Structure 1
Amino acid sequence: MEVNLLSISIKPPIKIPKNKTVELDVDWNIEYKKLDAKKFNFVCNIKAYGDFSFEANIEGEISTENDYDNIPDFISVSIVENLMKSLPKLVSYAQQFRIEENVFVNQPLSLAS
């Protein structure tokens, strides 16, 4: 089975704990849309609670070896477990930043190569 992530949207926590082991309670759900006999699109929503709370929305696609009418639960659990190995690292990179708009006002635009 092949799982491809097409987009990830993360709402990071207000404060990210540093050098600390945290425990999270996690709520999640996955909705699937069958594209053909062995291909599905999915949307996965994850909400983590605790010292490192965050929300994530992941869109992706699955190509299976078997023809499923519905994706079995063990596949959904495996997708979430694999996402939870990577998402905390991505959350720490998803910090907000600010762009000062007045810096760009009345600046000449150069597209010369």
Structure 2
Amino acid sequence: MTNKLSNVKVKLIVIAVVIIIVFAVGIYSTVTDSGHSNGESAEMGLNPLGVIIFALGLLGVFRPKTVWYLEIGWKVKDTEPSELALIANRVIGGILLIIGLGLMFS
């Protein structure tokens, strides 16, 4: 039962990531105006790569156990992540948040 529940969680996370990617690309393409007469394009939108990295950073900071499971946990049975692994996922998530913010508005 626990394994089945874990598989459902992984599928939901994958679906959420795909939705975020589609949403980010949609925002970027709708706010990018390329209809200027002088050939310039005025980009006013968010960079989709920044949105994706920011979303992954949020996942790492607020759900480090889920990140650990997606990275390592699915390979082994009946194991829990160490405190060091959870701290590392939070730190890396924080770094990704900063990088994602920088990319979103650059």
Length-normalised TM-score, structure 1: 0.30
More strand by share: 1
More helix by share: 2
Quick check: which has more Rg, 1 or 2?
1
Length-normalised TM-score, structure 2: 0.31
